[in-house]
Amino acid sequence: MSATLFGLAGAALVGIGLFGLIVHPTALRKLLAFNLVGAGVFLVFGVVARRAAAAGLAGDPVPQAIVITGIVVAFAATALAATLLARLSGPEEEP
Amino acid sequence: MTELLALTLALPLLAGALFIVATASTRAALFGFFAFGLFLALAWVALDAVDVALTEAAIGGGATGLLLLRLNGRMRHPVSLGEPAGPRLKIAAGLLAALVTLALGALLLALPEPAPSLAAATVEPLPTLGIGNPVAAVLIAYRALDTLLEIVVLLIAVVGLRALGTDRGWGGRPVPWPEGGPSPALVFLARLLIPAGLVFAAYLFWVGADAPGGKFQASTLLAALWLLAIMAGLAPAPSSGGRWTGRALAIGPLAFIAAGAIGIAAAGSFLAWPEPVAKPMIIAVELALAVSIVVALVLLVAGPPERETGR
C-alpha cells in the first residue's frame, strides 16, 4: 500500500512537470519541468519494482537497474540541453 | 506506520514539485530542485531501492542541480521559447496534466496481481559471478549491453558539448567560476571534504559488489569532489585538447568492449563473463569505467571550454 502511495505521487509529478513544461515560456524552466516528468516516471517504475518483490529480495532488481541507467541518461540529455541553452544565450562569436 | 512514512515523504515531493513549477524566481526553483532531489532519494530508500536512491541523490538531484545552477549563472539573458502562457493555455495544460495523472494513477491501481518478477532469475546465478548485490549483477552481467550503451550515451553527450563550444575555446579548459576568486570558506571546505570523500568513494566502489553502492555512485562522488576542487581553485578542470582527457574518456568503453570480445571467445557470447575469472574481470572493467565516468561527468557539469589555456 505504501508503495502505491509513492506511485500515485509519481503520477502527480508527471502531471505537475507536464503542466510546467507547457506553461513556462523560458527554456531553463522547461528543462526543470522536464526533469520532474522524468522523476515521476522513474518513481512509477520503482513501484512496479517494489511490487515484484520475490526470492527474498525487497524488490525486482531488473527495473531498479533500468531506473539507474535512466537517471544517468536523463542527466546526459540535460547536460546537452544546458550547453545548447548556454550557447543560445551567449554573445555572437567574434570573427 | 509505513503508510504514515510514505505520506510524510510523498507530500514534500508534491509540494517541492509544485514550488519548482509555480515559483516566479528561477533561482528559487533551482534550489527547490536540490531539496526535491533529496526527498526523492529518501522516497527511493523507502521503496527499498537504495542503489537507485544513491544514484538519484548523486546524479538526479546533485549533478543535475549543480549543472542547471551553473547554467543559470552563466546565461546572459533567459532564453525564451514563446510568449507567457495566457489563461486559456493554462486551463488546457492543467486539464491535460490532470488527465495524464489520472490515467497513470488508474493504471497503477490496475496492475496485475501477483506482479510478474524477474527477482528469482536474477538471484539464482549470483554465486558464479562473485557478486552479492543483485542490482549490480543486473547492471554488469545480465544487462551489460545497457550499461555499455549508457557509457556511450555519456560520451556522445561529451562530444555534443564540445561541438557546441566556441571556436576560440577549442583545446582550452572550462571556466571554473565566472567572477572573482573562490571564498576562503570554500577553499577550507574543499580541503576538509576531499580526503574524506576519496575514502568514501573507494568504499562505495568496493562495497557495490555486495551491498548498495557501485561504480556509478563512487564515480559521481569523485566527480563532485573534483568539481569542488575546481571551484576552490585547488585543481584544474580537464583540458579538452589534452591527450589524457581523451584517453581517460575512451578507456572505459574500450575495456568493456574488450571484455565482451573475450566473452565471445571464452563463454560463447558477447559480454558473457567466463566463470572462473568473472570477478577479477568485472573489477577491472568497472575500474576502467569509473575513470571514464568521472571525466565525462566533470566535463558535462563544467561545460564547454571557453578560453585558451595560458601558454
Instruction: Give the CATH number of the domain where residue A40 resides.
Output: 1.10.287.3510
Cβ distance B52 to A31 less than 8 Å, yes or no, reads no
Please report the pLDDT score of residue A94 as a whole number.
Answer: 44
Please report the pLDDT score of residue A18 as a whole number.
Answer: 92
* Domain annotation covers residue A73: yes
Cβ distance B85 to A22 less than 8 Å, yes or no, reads yes
* Domain annotation covers residue A84: yes
- What band does A95 get if pLDDT is binned at 50, 70 and 90? very low
Q: What is chain B's pLDDT, residue by residue, as a tens digit (311 residues)?
A: 577 888 888 888 899 999 998 888 888 999 999 999 999 999 888 888 888 888 888 888 888 888 888 888 777 777 777 777 788 888 888 899 899 999 988 888 887 777 777 777 777 777 766 777 777 777 777 778 888 888 899 999 988 888 887 776 666 677 665 556 778 888 888 888 899 989 988 888 888 777 777 788 888 888 888 888 888 888 777 777 677 888 888 888 888 888 888 878 777 777 777 777 777 888 888 888 888 999 888 888 887 776 644 43
User: Which among A4, A7, A55 is the nearest to B123, CB-wise?
Assistant: A55
pLDDT digits (tens, 9 = 90+) for A34-91: 999 999 999 988 888 777 766 666 777 888 888 888 898 999 999 999 888 888 876 5
Which residues constitute the domain of residue A51? 2-89
Q: Is the peptide bond before B305 cis (omega within 30 degrees of 0)?
A: no
Contact (CB, 8 A) for A3 and A47: yes
Nearest CA in chain B to A11: B101
User: Which among B52, B59, B93 is the nearest to A23, CB-wise?
Assistant: B93
Please report the pLDDT score of residue A40 as a whole number.
Answer: 92
Strand partners, B173: B307
Cβ distance B60 to A39 less than 8 Å, yes or no, reads yes
Please report the pLDDT score of residue A36 as a whole number.
Answer: 92
Strand partners, B301: none
Which amino acid, one-letter code, is at B172?
G
| Helical spans, DSSP H, in B138-214 | 144-163, 184-207
The three grid cell numbers given for residue B48, joined into one nine-digit string: 527499498
Helix (H, G, I), strand (E, B) or coil at B80: strand
Shortest alpha-carbon distance between residue A34 and chain B (Å): 10
Number of domains in chain A: 1
Please report the pLDDT score of residue B10 as a whole number.
Answer: 86
Which amino acid, one-letter code, is at B286?
E
Nearest CA in chain B to A2: B3
User: Which among B71, B123, B143 is the nearest to A86, CB-wise?
Assistant: B71
User: Which among B48, B77, B120 is the nearest to A58, CB-wise?
Assistant: B48
Helix (H, G, I), strand (E, B) or coil at B173: strand
The three grid cell numbers given for residue B128, joined into one nine-digit string: 558464479
**Burial tier of B151 (Cβ tally within 10 Å: 0-12, 13-18, 19+):** buried
Contact (CB, 8 A) for B301 and B223: yes
Which of B52, B122, B139, B216 should we substitute to test contact with A (largest number of A Cβ atoms within 10 Å)?
B52
* Domain annotation covers residue A71: yes
* Domain annotation covers residue A23: yes
- What band does A15 get if pLDDT is binned at 50, 70 and 90? very high
User: Which among B30, B59, B118 is the nearest to A75, CB-wise?
Assistant: B59
Residues of chain A positioned with their CB less than 8 A from the CB of B78: 26-28, 89
CA separation for the pair B20, B202 (Å, rounded): 34
Backbone angles phi, psi at A54, to 5 degrees: -160, 170
* Domain annotation covers residue A94: no
Contact (CB, 8 A) for A53 and A63: no
* Domain annotation covers residue A25: yes
- Reduced 3-state DSSP string for A15-63: HHHHHHHHHCCEHHHHHHHHHHHHHHHHHHHHHHHHHCCCCCCCCCHHH
Cβ distance B119 to A72 less than 8 Å, yes or no, reads no
* Domain annotation covers residue A85: yes
* Domain annotation covers residue A95: no
Nearest CA in chain B to A91: B76
Please report the pLDDT score of residue B178 as a whole number.
Answer: 53
Please report the pLDDT score of residue B40 as a whole number.
Answer: 92
**Burial tier of B31 (Cβ tally within 10 Å: 0-12, 13-18, 19+):** middle
